Amino acid sequence: MTPELPQAADHEVVVTGIGLVAGRLTDPEALFDHLAHGGTLIEEHPLHTDWGVPSAVSAHIDPQVRQNLEAALPAEAGPLGPAGVLAWHAAAQAWERSGLPRRLESDRGGVFLACNRMVMEPSELTALAGHVDFETGTFDLDACLDADDGPEPQRLRRIQPDTATARLADWFGAAGVMETHADACAAGGMAIGSAYRYIRNGALDVALAGGAESLTTLTSVTAFHGVGALAPSQGREPARISRPFDKDRSGFVIGDGAAFLVLESRAHAEARGARVLARIAGYAGVTEAVRMTSSTRDGSDYAECIRAALADAGLAPDAIDHINAHGTSTEANDTCEAAALHAVFGPDARIPVTGNKSAMGHSLANSGAAEAVLSVLSLRRQRVLPTLNFTEPDEVTRGLDIVTAPRDVPVRAVLSNSFGFGGQNCSLILAQAG
């Protein structure tokens, strides 16, 4: 029998708004429905084949959708980079759905954006290299800015993730705390977790928290292929490439996207009559430094993070009804995560496990935020989304209840994991509004 969830605390943290953009879709419910019907966002990228990269598929933002979002930016947003444009739309959507006034006008609001640092494209790197004196190790910035082949002077500031954080905070009047997280694949979850802690501790009443990435570029694809993280795509149907926890998994599919949640203290939300969608019940962020691209293979580091989140929520493992796994479809990550789930929940625990990246790709800093949004909708709809392409486990992933078709089950608490390169580990626990 599942134990009762703990009673509300003085500064209980609730979710009052969600927003998202992914593929051709620009709202969370449409994405949830698409995934519930076995849909995918993964397809051939219009430029990757021309570039000749080995991984020519991605979960990219549709070019027309991106163009429409750029056109819809208010003048006050100023110039934003590709990830910033996505962040603006998802954040504005979440804020509007929360029912908050357009401007908070309070120092008790904050913005927490996850977005990994800018990646320059080959043409820009080549231009910069022309102004480097490799003997002395110096860079002639003035000559670079004056040169015809140099970067546009304002571009570097525009594409810095901090620029979007500051402009969102100014637009919504929520500049009490501003944080930009670049914690690799765990950044989205850590941004939400940080906002949760500020509200729970009474320092903030409202926070806009989420992530955004625009990664389907030549530099990013080449870099991740170089470290062996991307699944090969030649001769394979795009929708069948990402296969979390399956014995034939071969790497992840890169993606773009943005997702945001509006978090509030329950007292603040109830005082204004807001609709409460869910609550953030627990969070843990744990760092380790085993290897740059993998953690302890017995899953002990991931297990430590999950146990810490459960302890923060005051929950026993059997209070979790669904696990939204990190599930990248890489051999190392899935092995570590499966071992951790066995360690925490038991070797034969029948908790439904979903790997959203099988259909959405891996958008790094955004993934944890997008999966948190989908977890909110699982709590609202009492429905668990499927994992695509899982057919047979290996020795380590055997025993997990990998969901392969939409499943209607009672869902009161969801564990959502994000485990990043460099040992950045994050677990969120989301629960019914209560």
Report pLDDT for 186. 95
Report pLDDT for 218. 86
Report pLDDT for 155. 64
Number of C-beta neighbours around residue 6 at 10 A: 15
To 5 degrees, how large is the angle CA 51–CA 214–CA 96? 150
Average pLDDT over residues 78-84: 90
Given a cut of 70, is residue 328 above it in pLDDT? yes
Report pLDDT for 434. 84
Print burial letters for 318-354: b (CB count within 10 Å at least 16), e (below 16). Answer: ebbbbbbbbbbbbbebbbbbbbbbbbbbeeebebbbb
Report pLDDT for 10. 61
The single residue of 11, 45, 185, 268 carrying the catalytic annotation is 185
| CB distance 348 to 310 below 8 Å | no
Given a cut of 60, is residue 9 above it in pLDDT? no
The single residue of 45, 131, 268, 362 carrying the catalytic annotation is 362
Range in 1-10, 255-264, 330-339, 371-380 with the lowest mean pLDDT? 1-10
pLDDT digits (tens, 9 = 90+) for 151-161: 565 666 667 78
Number of C-beta neighbours around residue 282 at 10 A: 25
Given a cut of 70, is residue 162 above it in pLDDT? yes
Query: Whole-model pTM?
Result: 0.92
Q: Is 326 a catalytic residue?
A: yes
| CATH code for the structural domain at 13-118+160-431 | 3.40.47.10
Q: Is 37 a catalytic residue?
A: no
Mean pLDDT of the chain: 91
- More confident position, 389 or 183: 389
Average pLDDT over residues 330-341: 94
Q: Is 185 a catalytic residue?
A: yes
End-to-end CA distance of the chain: 19
SS3 419: strand
Range in 57-61, 62-66, 69-73, 132-136 with the lowest mean pLDDT? 132-136
Provide the percentage of residues in the chain whose pLDDT is more than 70. Answer: 92
* Domains of the chain, residue spans: 13-118+160-431
In DSSP terms, which residues pair with 353 in a beta bridge?
A: 323, 402
pLDDT digits (tens, 9 = 90+) for 266-318: 999 999 999 999 999 999 998 876 665 565 778 899 999 999 999 999 999 99
Retrieve residue 73's tokens.
């930016």
Given a cut of 50, is residue 428 above it in pLDDT? yes
Q: Rounded distance, CA 153 to CA 194, Å?
A: 33
Q: Rounded distance, CA 209 to CA 197, Å?
A: 12
Strands annotated E in 67-205: 109-114, 132-133, 138-139, 177-181
Report pLDDT for 125. 74
The single residue of 326, 336, 342, 426 carrying the catalytic annotation is 326
SS3 205: coil
